[in-house]
Structure 1
Amino acid sequence: MALKHLPPTFCWSRIGPEAGVDLPTLILRKEWERRQGGGRFLWGIGQSLGSSAQVAALRTGSLLALFSAAASRPRAAQDKRGKRAGVVVWNAWVDASGQVRQLPQHVFVTSSATLPSGAAREHHYALVCVSPTELSVGSSLRVFPERLRSVSTAKPPGRSQGTVVVDCVERAAEPAGKSHSLVFTAELEAPYFVRLTQPTLVKARDLAAIHEAARMGDFDTYANLTKRVRSEACAQQPRGVTRDLFDVPPADHTASSRLGGARTRHVSRAGDWTQLTMELLHGDSLPFTRGRGCATLF
């Protein structure tokens, strides 16, 4: 989704390497998930958005998620004994009525097994993203935090807020101060974000194999590994019995012409899934290419 300018209200998320996966490979994994999910994919975030996403969507009619590269690399999480924390995969989500529902097996959202405090992480969150077209990475647009105000607090987003719903503040002066490059954009679909539950620790050897398959652009191996890990975990968990969000196909989405979006195209699952070309904007445009079958940044 290409934008000519920032929308007046949007969900802003600062993203970076996660659970040992570099950002370009993580975006590739989400493109694969998008194709398997008919256009829908989940992006894990560390905190709840409260009611801000619903409020903004009701006010504007739709809500876009803009993802920017984080300014610094996250610290490696540690457990209470000071050892590097493990990685968990999340197997279910909780709806508004408290019903626990299983995530589709192609969805693979991971996080550190512990919180920064060292306590076990019992819940996580995820943005419900949808894109009818391939994730288009790279943009000339930049986000200036000083020109943003949180929908919830009317204050500029804090450093600890990795994801926040914001309004743009118009100013006559030229933008100044720190800015963040825009990596990619997607639309958020109701309920906009979900709370995840039922985490399962991923074995180190399985995690290493999954990372290697994604790094090499080997979709078939990656899909088989992630589905096996998810199916083993789900076999031990209770399942929801009512209609699920993921039983409903994503709604048709059209980008607003005032935001400079392209017209909607039907989502296609055909084609070679490993031949994706992406760009990660970090100062200059950096091509995301594949050398010897590997995803590399030059």
Structure 2
Amino acid sequence: MNVMTHRLVAERDISERSADDMASAHHYVCWSRMQAEAGQPLETIIQRKELERRSNGGIFVWGVGNAPARLTRALARTGQPVRAIFSIMKSKPRPSDANAEDLLMWRAYLDADGVERSLPAGSIVTSRAGTASNRKRAHYALICRSDRVLDLDHSGARFDPDAFRNAGEQGRPVGASQVTALLRQVAGQRANGPYAVNMEADLVGAYWVRLTSPVPLACGAKAMLDRAEAMSVAAWLDCAQQLRGRRVADAVSHDCLL
């Protein structure tokens, strides 16, 4: 190993140790604001994710539009608990989200080592496909686990983003345009925080991943997803197998998430 390579490896090791130290010293949450997406109302998405959760032994995959914070990998590697908090957006869904017709389905993801893995057998993640001149090239997801039934909770629990800062060295306040963010708590939350805690889960496995293997979602397939509420777990797994094809055969185990 030459001097330059040795120095780069040492700097990387120091950086990773610093990230590990930071991970163990703070309380983190992943906050995601949700609304209608990929042509489905939020209530329908939640019903579909509940079927995923039941099909996958508690695990569901929640698609998000932005890449993970750099600290995410260190948190996942050390097993630092990160609670995922979902809040309904204050603004109405954009027409391009609520009425989207040109859709993609993502069938796999990259793990922490850059290896492509199939999503769990019962998971379906969709997104808008973009425009003819600007096709969507990247989409991301939170790997979540919950032992509770997923539904929209309106019981009154509140979330106060002012009590948090973005995770990382700069620690900027939460931006108004941030839809999903890894946050570090720096103060106590106000009881009347501006957002409701509408759903909660724990991040597991690689926590926050980049999705791969997108394929167009046909109109008939979209109609199947819209009927998810009426499906049993067995029917949902059959639906996922039909939509994802051979990719499902590789996802019979959850070991790929760890």
User: Shorter-chain TM-score: which interval?
Assistant: 0.7 to 0.9
SS of equivalent residue, structure 1 residue 35: helix
SS of equivalent residue, structure 1 residue 98: coil
User: Structure 1's 151 and 245: CA in aligned 2 closer, same or farther, altered over 3 A?
Assistant: farther
CA contact (8 A) 1:34 1:130 kept: yes
Question: How many angstroms does 1:57 deviate by?
Answer: 5.9
Partner residue of 1:107 out of 113, 119, 123: 123
CA contact (8 A) 2:144 2:204 kept: yes
SS of equivalent residue, structure 1 residue 185: strand
User: Structure 1's 44 and 84: CA in aligned 2 closer, same or farther, altered over 3 A?
Assistant: closer
User: Structure 1's 59 and 158: CA in aligned 2 closer, same or farther, altered over 3 A?
Assistant: farther
Partner residue of 2:173 out of 156, 175, 188: 156
CA contact (8 A) 2:59 2:144 kept: yes
SS of equivalent residue, structure 1 residue 160: coil
Show the counterpart of 1:227. 241
- In the TM superposition, what whole-angstrom CA distance separates every residue of 1:165-193 from its partner, at most 9, and x where no partner exists? 11233269x667x7111111101113111
Equivalent AA in structure 2 for residue 87 of structure 1:
L
Show the counterpart of 1:51. 70
| Percent identical | 30
Alignment RMSD (CA, Å): 3.3
CA contact (8 A) 1:89 1:109 kept: yes
Structure 1 distance, partners of 2:80, 2:167, is 15
2:195 matches 1:188: no
Partner residue of 1:93 out of 109, 112, 121: 109
2:140 matches 1:133: no
Partner residue of 1:165 out of 162, 182, 186: 182
Structure 2 distance, partners of 1:24, 1:114, is 23
Query: How many residues of Structure 1 are paired with residues of Structure 2 in the alignment?
Result: 229
Question: How many angstroms does 1:148 deviate by?
Answer: 2.0
Report which stretch shifted further, 139-148 or 197-206. Answer: 139-148
SS of equivalent residue, structure 2 residue 137: coil
Question: How many angstroms does 1:140 deviate by?
Answer: 2.1
Q: 1:1-16 maps to which residues of 2 (within 5 A)?
A: 8-16=27-35
CA contact (8 A) 1:130 1:250 kept: no
Structure 1 distance, partners of 2:254, 2:63, is 20
Question: How many angstroms does 1:8 deviate by?
Answer: 4.3
Show the counterpart of 1:62. 81
- In the TM superposition, what whole-angstrom CA distance separates every residue of 1:180-208 from its partner, at most 9, and x where no partner exists? 11111101113111110111111112212
Q: Which runs of 5+ in 1 are unaligned?
A: 1-6, 252-298
CA contact (8 A) 1:105 1:230 kept: no
Show the counterpart of 1:143. 159
Partner residue of 2:255 out of 241, 248, 254: 248
Structure 1 distance, partners of 2:236, 2:82, is 31
Structure 2 distance, partners of 1:127, 1:60, is 15
Q: Which runs of 5+ in 2 are unaligned?
A: 1-25
Give the TM-score, by structure 1 length. 0.66
Show the counterpart of 1:24. 43
Question: How many angstroms does 1:124 deviate by?
Answer: 1.0
Show the counterpart of 1:289. none
Question: How many angstroms does 1:42 deviate by?
Answer: 0.7
CA contact (8 A) 2:38 2:100 kept: no
CA contact (8 A) 2:102 2:217 kept: yes
SS of equivalent residue, structure 2 residue 183: strand
SS of equivalent residue, structure 1 residue 224: helix
User: Structure 1's 246 and 51: CA in aligned 2 closer, same or farther, altered over 3 A?
Assistant: farther
Equivalent AA in structure 2 for residue 183 of structure 1:
N
Give the TM-score, by structure 2 length. 0.75
Structure 1 distance, partners of 2:96, 2:182, is 26
Structure 2 distance, partners of 1:84, 1:182, is 27
User: Structure 1's 186 and 118: CA in aligned 2 closer, same or farther, altered over 3 A?
Assistant: farther
